[in-house]
Amino acid sequence: MSETVYIDYKVAGTAANAFSVTLASQDGTYGIKNLSTSAIVAASGTVVNNPSTGRYEYSFNPDSTSVYAVSWRVIPSEFDAPKYVTQQVGPFSVETGIEAVATFSGTFLQGTIANLFLKITNFDGEPINADTITITIRDDAGNLIINTIPEKFDTGYYCYNWAIALTQAAGSYIVSWSYIADGVSGNEVQSVVVATSSTDPTVKPFYSGQISMIRGVLDYYLAYAQNIPVYFEQAKPSVDKHSYRFTFPNWNQTVGTKIYRNNSLITSNLTIDYFNGSITFDNALLPEDRINADYNFKWFTEKEEIAFLQQGVNVANLYPPVSNYSLYNVPGIYQVIVILKAAIDAIRVLMLSINFQEPAQVFGGLEEAERRFSQLETLKRNYEEELTKYLEQKKYGPYPRTTIISVPEYTLPGGRSRWFRAMFSTNS
């Protein structure tokens, strides 16, 4: 299995050739390095190909389960100082040999717990267990931070709680999950960011603590809306025929996406961006080439789920006893209100979406989508009735504090003091 890594050099947005481009690290120890084994795949100073203006590439045979550091040494003009560009590539799909672009999975503060999740399903979205599974975390330089076995908390659902030290360096980290499920090996790559607590107080750890648990429950409510299969969809090509985009983003990596070129399965020389629902080929294709894909996607992004949940908190706060909770501290007794309201809003968005032609195709066309619309309306109504009962119950407390209310009354001398003593005794 051969893979090609490349870099595009541009000047003022236009492709141009640099004075010199080679594979070389700043410390002079490697050009390409296997971060899993520390083996040098290409030595520092390795010559690369220049097939077209501004395009530099190099091919090698990677191990499907490893992550590699690729370092480019670029000298723009003859007397310029060299510039270094480092990439991380892999792991590559064992089934297809295709590389995946890391999916962004959150920003975490130093000194907090980062809850990292993986959901493994078959293509139709049914959760399945892994026979073996590991998780590794590496920094931008490829240094190993974590290598362990995550915890399984339900069929197909895995979690690792990364206790980020206060001294953990701020920056980007690559999280790699490797597993075997139903006899097939698979990988998922995620990217996370560690932010400095003292200098970045506005960063909210939406992926930590109880927020992760609440989001997990919401995923159960949305279930198959977060695992929708699409079969043999034809892609929309870019002008240069390098990149191709599909209708829906947010692909589920673990499902095993398949890419076809002129009805033949492709097994190398392209990169999949699961987050944006697009693919990029190492080399431009011909205008007559037709690209199709089988993929499985999530209708709602994690950012949208957080927005629905935040709106659920706002609604819970409005009902007596009026409160001022956030997603970070909403009590467990009110979380069912938050989740139900979020599920209702998500279903409303889904119902609106399938009234339009492209989204309706997922359900078999506008006629079939109309039938699904009716089913979703029934489900939404059931959730709304249940939510109403919980909101009505909320007024019975517990209230945040006890208050004594005294009503002034004007009487003859001596009468007022006797009334106040009686009222005080009654309220005590």
Contact (Cβ atoms closer than 8 angstroms) between residue 316 and residue 308: no
Are residues 236 and 129 part of one domain?
Answer: yes
pLDDT of residue 73: 92
Are residues 386 and 306 part of one domain?
Answer: yes
pLDDT of residue 177: 86
Residue type, 37: T
Residue 288 lies in a domain: yes
pLDDT of residue 103: 60
pLDDT of residue 420: 45
Are residues 277 and 261 part of one domain?
Answer: yes
Residue 14, domain extent = 3-89
147: tokens are 């290598």
Q: What residues contact 79, with CB distance under 8 A and at least 6 apart?
A: none
Q: Considering its fold, how many domains does the chain have in total?
A: 3
Q: Which of 299, 321, 340 is the last residue of a domain?
A: 299
Stated pTM of the model: 0.57
34: tokens are 């296997």
Single out the residue of 331, 263, 256, 252 nearest to residue 291, CA to CA.
263
Whether the CA torsion 334, 336, 341, 343 is positive or negative: it is positive
Residue 64 lies in a domain: yes
pLDDT of residue 421: 45
pLDDT of residue 292: 93
Residue 266 lies in a domain: yes
pLDDT of residue 126: 75
Rounded (5°) CA angle 27-32-33 = 85
Are residues 370 and 286 part of one domain?
Answer: no
Rounded distance, CA 147 to CA 426, Å?
A: 65
Residue 189 lies in a domain: yes
C-alpha separations of 374 from 223, 228, 350, 370, 379 in Å: 18, 19, 12, 7, 9
Are residues 186 and 96 part of one domain?
Answer: yes
Rounded distance, CA 65 to CA 302, Å?
A: 27
Rounded distance, CA 253 to CA 277, Å?
A: 11
Number of Cβ within 10 Å of residue 105's Cβ equals 22
Token pair 């870019």 is found at 238
Rounded distance, CA 143 to CA 12, Å?
A: 34
pLDDT of residue 203: 46
Are residues 280 and 216 part of one domain?
Answer: yes
Are residues 26 and 109 part of one domain?
Answer: no
Rounded distance, CA 38 to CA 333, Å?
A: 50
Are residues 155 and 266 part of one domain?
Answer: yes
Q: Which of 299, 329, 361 is the last residue of a domain?
A: 299
Number of Cβ within 10 Å of residue 312's Cβ equals 27
Are residues 384 and 309 part of one domain?
Answer: yes
Contact (Cβ atoms closer than 8 angstroms) between residue 333 and residue 285: no
φ, ψ dihedrals at 211, nearest 5°: -60, -40
Residue 418 lies in a domain: no
| Neighbouring-strand partners of residue 184 | 181
Are residues 184 and 267 part of one domain?
Answer: yes
Q: What is the mean pLDDT of each run of 10 residues along the chain (428 residues)?
A: 80 88 91 84 93 90 78 91 82 49 68 79 76 88 86 81 87 85 77 69 52 83 86 89 88 79 83 82 87 91 88 94 88 93 95 83 79 90 94 77 56 51 44
Q: What residues contact 61, with CB distance under 8 A and at least 6 apart?
A: 1, 2, 3
Can the peptide bond before residue 398 be classed as cis, meaning omega within 30 degrees of 0?
yes
Are residues 148 and 250 part of one domain?
Answer: yes
Are residues 356 and 285 part of one domain?
Answer: no
Q: 279: domain CATH number?
A: 2.60.40.1220
Q: Please write down the HEC assignment for all residues of 300-345.
A: CCHHHHHHHHHHHHHHHHHCCCCCCCCCCCCCHHHHHHHHHHHHHH
